[in-house]
């Protein structure tokens, strides 16, 4: 990779951590630029016009071009590496889990983690408070599906670690921050340990 890589991020976000973890596992140098989303720093006219019109991080900057969406950024970094299966079916299956993460997992587990840990249970709007039980149920359904899948295999696809594992690891390993009770999912917790034991692994707070 010849162009400079810059990650526009909020470090405690799991979506941002996915990108850092992918870069670390592949030993790719990544410059980091922090924004405080609690102060609206990704909603300024400058950020919206230059970095991401969608007003969110992470955004991976490659030279003078920008890739918003965490899983797309991971996919860019991992192109041609062992983190993306060469088999066409396995590649699509990996993407299946990454899309599933964004639709069934992150909107429930990550959102509850943010509401409980950053917004605070007492500061939720009425609309947010009403959504908590459904998000908890959907988050547990996602963890149950992962538990069943991992009861028969060590990794999500292809028999080895891929981006599917990295993208799902990001918010799963901190699901207890939102009181999801990971101890109820023993195959998921073993898989979390397997990810942590990979060479060049970096924790979220590094
Ligand atoms: N689907 C996006 C989600 C990005 C997202 O929701 N980012 C949050 C932090 S995790 C954010 O920037 N929030 C600030 C805001 O919306 O103003 C991804 O995977 O990158």
* Nearest by Cα to 168 from 43, 81, 74: 74
Query: Does residue 7 contact residue 13 with C-beta atoms inside 8 Å?
Result: no
- The answer for residues whose C-beta is within 8 angstroms of residue 47's C-beta and 6 or more apart is 35, 41, 55
Decide: 69 in ligand 1 pocket, CB within 6 A. yes
Cβ of 107 closer than 6 Å to ligand 1, yes or no, is: no
With pLDDT > 90 as the criterion, what percentage of the chain qualifies?
99
CA distance 187 to 147: 6
Residue of 11, 15, 167 to test ligand 1 pocket, by largest number of atoms within 8 Å of CB: 15
Query: Mind listing the pLDDT tens digit for each residue in 28-39?
Result: 999 999 999 999
Burial of 97 (0-12, 13-18, 19+ CB in 10 A): buried
The pLDDT of residue 68: 98
pLDDT tens digits, 75-127 = 999 999 999 999 999 999 999 999 999 999 999 999 999 999 999 999 999 99
Q: Is 56 in the pocket of ligand 1 (CB under 6 A)?
A: yes
Gap between the Cα atoms of 83 and 22, Å rounded: 9
Is there an atom of ligand 1 within 6 Å of 55 CB?
yes
Q: What are phi and psi of 174, to 5 degrees?
A: -115, 20
If we measure between CA atoms, which residue out of 97, 192, 179, 180 comes closest to residue 144?
Answer: 180
Using most ligand atoms within 8 A of CB, pick from 56, 98, 110 the residue to mutate for ligand 1.
Answer: 56
C-alpha torsion 153→154→159→161, nearest 10 = 150
pLDDT at 163: 99
13 lines ligand 1 (CB under 6 A): yes
Residue 37 Cβ < 6 Å to ligand 1: yes
Look up the pTM and report it: 0.98
For residue range 65-75, what is the model confidence (pLDDT) as tens digits? 999 999 999 99
1: pLDDT strictly greater than 90 = no
Task: Please classify residue 21 by burial: count the beta carbons closer than 10 Å to its beta carbon, then call 0-12 exposed, 13-18 middle and 19+ buried.
Answer: buried
Cα 58–chain centre separation: 10
Question: Does residue 52's CB lie within 6 angstroms of at least one atom of ligand 1?
Answer: no
Q: 200 C-alpha to center of ligand 1: Å?
A: 26
């Amino acid at each position: 990779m010849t162009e400079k890589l810059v990650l526009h991020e909020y470090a405690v976000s799991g979506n941002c951590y996915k990108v850092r973890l992918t870069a670390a596992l592949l030993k790719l140098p990544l410059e980091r630029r922090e924004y405080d989303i609690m102060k609206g720093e990704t909603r300024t006219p400058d950020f919206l016009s230059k970095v991401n019109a969608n007003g969110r991080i992470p955004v991976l900057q490659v030279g003078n071009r920008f890739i918003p969406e965490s899983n797309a950024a991971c996919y860019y970094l991992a192109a041609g590496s062992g983190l993306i299966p060469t088999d066409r079916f396995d590649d699509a299956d990996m993407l299946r889990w990454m899309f599933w993460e964004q639709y069934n997992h992150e909107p429930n587990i990550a959102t509850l983690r943010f509401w409980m840990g950053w917004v605070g249970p007492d500061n939720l709007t009425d609309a947010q408070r009403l959504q908590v039980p459904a998000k908890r149920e959907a988050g547990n359904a996602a963890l149950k599906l992962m538990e069943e899948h991992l009861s028969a295999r060590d990794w999500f696809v292809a028999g080895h670690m891929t981006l599917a594992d990295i993208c799902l690891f990001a918010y799963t390993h901190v699901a207890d921050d939102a009181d999801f009770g990971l101890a109820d999912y023993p195959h998921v917790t073993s898989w979390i340990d397997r990810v942590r034991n990979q060479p060049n692994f970096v924790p979220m707070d590094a």
